Structure 1
């Protein structure tokens, strides 16, 4: 009987799918099967996966889905294992990722396990984005850490019970899945040394797009409304503060304290990440976190109300 299935869904990932497949095949604990779902690629993604199969790799290629949720559901539907480990393209798995992330399932200590993810930057900007937007493992409370779809393992029973990943969501589907599993009474835990490596966004435009869609997904799914309200209020206060700065110079000190608090953790991470760099390169990279924060926050403030309007329109249609 197949015990462990490793799955992913991909679309137009010809540039990086080989890195993911190589890291899957190099795992210290090999799955009983690997299921790759192609979600309508128009590039060479499917052909690259097929080339691995033709060389004898234990991979099954299936096709289906219209977004990441439906593609992931289709992969799981075709998987035979009672344990499912899920990841995504654009990543490389640490050699012991699978071994570590399924251990709590096999020991019957959990029903859903969150793995971790670490930035693998290839440029100075990517280094700054990784340090600014992603916590280190030692900064995370495992009891509150939610599983992301690119680094998670669960019993197939969990997926069956909650009705799979929500296909009405194009983003944040993994968080809604986690919440549904918790609401259904399943046990969850986090294994922070089960790591996947990812490349941060390589431009401010790509960063804006990423967080726009994350926030839009929050709005559609009605996730974290208080968090978003706090962000709007904070920036409104910032605008009011800046308007009165010339009349009340002491507000500059208040602004500086706020900025220091907001970027304290990013700077601590980035200081260590840039150790050994030349002075000029390091100073240039250390100037980026405030801009990264603002770009991300503006993207979220634009994306969230759009998602909220999408959810409102969907609700109106259902009432009619």
Structure 2
């Protein structure tokens, strides 16, 4: 592809704690985008003041716009504002210096329509590292041919985005999963680029992990992602359903409870294997608690989402127009 323009886009909401580090990491990119667009969903914590300051001194071709609404609306609006042929999407994270250069290259040479980058958790303490390991995929567990990219590290052509109607603006979370599934159904060409790395902040406690994954699962339930690649709601329901059945069986045949305990130990080990790989032995009990919290959050959130299921959008339906309201 020649004479194409490319952009980095992001949407933010109340990110005053980390946004300076995010913007600094964008300034360290080895390649400068034709435009950098950030939309703000209605921050009230000082985020917009930092965006104004950044706009006044950065060397980047930067613009930001206020777009009150959810993340899907913010992402679609940012892509429209960018008005480029190629779009790299991220969130408020620390973007590695070569991220943009690496994630956009397969699009420029015509090898792919969608490129999924990678992401690693940020953690300053053993507990934070364990939480990151429990709440993000490990690279060794990824199958590149079926990897579902997240919008903390993804790039695609404008045509690919248009073809599937953009991000579903009815979804406040899990919008990136739904978009990726739509792009796969549309027959678009995917590529996985593990060297395009974003380092991201994750949940800081079991309670926060529960709330976060329940929100994600609720949106997945609304969109009906059960059984799709890289989702595991069916497995979680099956595991806990079998456990409940064995528990009840034990009232008639007590040896079943021994099997239940053995199965629970084995499942707990599988859930914390990423923590074990990191050698965070002291964090194993806490990680088991986090794993249980995440499982319960996903089961309850997905079920609640199915109660409020969304009607399917046409595959090539247009994304709803969002009118930016304020900014610079």
TM-score above 0.5:
yes
Aligned in 2, Cα 1:237/1:99: closer, same or farther, shift over 3 Å? same
Structure 2 equivalent of residue 149 of structure 1: 151
1:215 and 1:56 map into 2 onto residues whose CA distance is 38
Partners of 1:178 and 1:10 lie apart in 2 by 21
Residues 70-96 of structure 1 show CA distances to partners (whole Å, capped at 9, x for unaligned) of 00111001003211000012x111111
Cα distance between partner residues in 2 of 1:255 and 1:103: 50
Distance 1:199 1:297 in 2: 20
Shift of residue 47, structure 1, vs aligned partner: 1.0
Q: TM-score, with normalisation over the residues of structure 2?
A: 0.86
Which residue of 82, 91, 107 maps to 1:88? 91
Range that drifts further, 53-62 or 113-122: 53-62
- Corresponding residue for residue 279 of structure 1: none
| Residue 9 (structure 1) aligns with | 11
Which residue of structure 1 lines up, in the alignment, with residue 110 of structure 2? 108
Deviation sequence 1:41-75 (CA, Å, 0-9, x none) = 11211110110111133211112141000001110
Q: For 1:17-166, what aligned pairs fall within 5 Å after superposition?
A: 17-58=19-60, 59-89=62-92, 91-166=93-168
Unaligned runs of 5+ in 1: 275-281, 316-320
Between 1 and 2, higher relative CO (CA 8 Å, sep ≥ 6) is seen in 2
SS in 1 for 2:181: helix
Deviation at 1:263, TM superposition (A): 2.8
**Maintained 8 Å contact 1:2/1:80:** no
- Of residues 284, 288, 295 in structure 2, which corresponds to 1:286? 284
How many angstroms does 1:193 deviate by? Answer: 1.6
Q: What is the aligned partner in structure 2 of residue 263 from structure 1?
A: 269
How many residues end up aligned between the 2 structures? 305
Please say if residues 37 and 75 of structure 1, whose CA atoms lie closer than 8 Å, have aligned partners that are also in contact: yes
Per-residue Cα deviation, 1:209-266 (whole angstroms, up to 9, x for no partner): 0110111011100111584344234213323434528963464255324532553363
Q: CA RMSD in A?
A: 2.3
State the distance in 1 between where 2:25 and 2:234 align: 41
The equivalences for 1:161-180 within 5 A come to 161-180=163-182
Q: In the aligned structure 1, how far is the partner of 2:95 from the partner of 2:58?
A: 21
Q: Structure 2 regions of 5+ residues with no counterpart?
A: 313-328
Query: TM-score of the superposition, structure 1-length normalised?
Result: 0.88
Among 232, 246, 258, which residue is 1:241 paired with?
246
C-alpha displacement of 1:104: 0.8
- Determine helix, strand or coil for the equivalent of 2:32: coil
**C-alpha separation in 2, matches of 1:242 and 1:124:** 35
Change in 2 beyond 3 A, CA 1:187/1:253: same
SS in structure 2 at match of 1:256: helix
Q: 1:135, CA displacement in angstroms? A: 2.7
Structure 2: how far apart are the matches of 1:56 and 1:230? Answer: 47
The whole-number CA distance in structure 2 between the counterparts of 1:111 and 1:225 is: 24
Task: Tell me the CA shift for residue 134 of structure 1.
Answer: 2.4
CA contact (8 A) 1:39 1:63 kept: yes
Question: Contact 1:263–1:289 at 8 Å: present in 2 too?
Answer: no
